[in-house]
A and B are shown apart, each in its own frame.
Chain A
């Protein structure tokens, strides 16, 4: 039923493999459908996204129609949905991570790649903007590197991506790298995990006087969950 990707969901880990290297309308729709499933019915705790991505496929859009802003809005809604999935997300890139693919990677919690992977955001050179990566990239690499990468469109190799924090690990055997990342993650409270991720994502743009209130609200939710109550029981003996 999917044309641009394959999706498997059985146990704790659901896996999306991107079968199309250039993002088109169909792939966005199919990823939305996968998100529906992950939000509504999946029992998975982790979602692994695998593949290579060369960015948006403008050739796939109707050439008679001017590209309007609403398509970009759809794309951004999808990216932020993936950023907020109830599962922990891991993007495993093999070979190329360009434009839209790079944008999507930045929305994921954990990011790994193979040694020959090159990352780039060529959008500005082509006369448009690399989506909301304009807001996400600097949080990972700092403002200086973000400006250089976006304005030059230069490729970032795997080792540099690791050094700058774009990816967490690099390995020739991608399966093994994914497996060790998942092992390092270990068991966790889904509620505490997604709340921590939300606060981190909001951390750069929350006013200090608002931050404490947000934290207390999130912490109250976390400590009301069974996972924490069990921890407390064990700690207290």
Chain B
């Protein structure tokens, strides 16, 4: 029987060249308020890769919305192509082989979007189809993978490439308030690309099949995570409600239960958990609500520790670490889980 389900054949990631410890930022921007300082130093994040502006005379970085948008574009065109190349090289593919390109970002609005810019920058074929998913937040990697997988399934043998590019340092408002410090202490810059293809020729490849997705939206928490205009700052600003980690945790069983039930599986059948590195609190809430262990979220934690929250690409950094670990066996099931504005939880089931 022809099995038309697509596989994730490769992953590649990239980050900006400059890496900062949390203490470096406090020093650079002269953050002295102990409450703000403790947000940075107790957040279970050690380092992040960021594009940081120099400090002004008062210690703070001063970037207009226009400058932040330029940073988003320039940063995306630096690390996006690196992630794509790292993803394609192991397969012996080049951008000329790509038939469908999907780019995901929340850190800046551009028209034409990142797909068009990447295609020009890297020389994709002119007949490559494309889609931009903009503004869906941390969960968007799975909102993107869902249509990418469908496209791959509808076009057997063709190469679909999904690229998440988040320049979170282009979403900075630095005003020494708790609201912005929560955000500025958490998010990092990074890009991750995956190649998805449905082909019988890949039957022997050690690459997981994408078996299905399940979504969950919590309309009552629509305002709990948002990236909206701040009139006072004259910039977009990200807001995170303090209760949202727990609300997300309490809802996590629902999409997971539906996803597993649809495939006749139990939680104990899942060997690998790829949970979005949203922050320490939300990962704890997920752990205790769906009953998975600290070990199950080891990559989630280590990605958070080394990179911060990379928004839509985080879970792909965990996926890359899982592969490098060399522990995955043929037949193993994995669950991918991302959460973000909506408020929403997205899940996917994969099998090697």
Contact = CB atoms under 8 A, between A and B. Distances in A.
Contact of A217 (B42, B268, B284): B284
Contacts of A224: 250
Interface residues of A, number: 16
A217 B266 contact: no
B288 interface: yes
Interface in B127-182: none
Interface string A85-125: 00000000000000000000000000000000000000000
A221 B250 contact: yes
Contacts, number: 38
A39 B288 CA distance: 17
Contacts of B291: 84
A198 B268 contact: no
B238 interface: no
Q: Which of A39, A84, A202, A220 neighbours the largest number of chain B CB atoms within 10 Å of its CB?
A: A220
B289 interface: yes
B285 A209 contact: no
Given A39-B268, A218-B288, A220-B285, A213 B246 contact: no
Interface in B269-309: 280-281, 284-285, 287-289, 291, 294
Identify whether the interface residues of B are mostly helix, strand, loop, or mixed: helix
A29 B266 CA distance: 18
B288 A214 contact: yes
Interface bracket on B = 10 to 19
The winner among A84, A217, A218 for most chain B CB atoms within 10 A is A217
A202 B246 CA distance: 20
Interface in A195-213: 195, 198, 202, 209, 213
Contacts of A235: none
B341 interface: no
B249 interface: yes
B301 to A, nearest CB: 10
Contacts of B281: 213, 216-217
- In order of increasing CB-CB distance, the 5 nearest A-B pairs are A217-B284, A217-B288, A220-B246, A217-B285, A213-B284
Given A213-B281, A214-B288, A221-B249, 13 more contacts: A40-B266, A195-B288, A198-B288, A209-B42, A213-B284, A214-B284, A216-B281, A216-B284, A217-B284, A220-B249, A220-B250, A221-B288, A221-B289
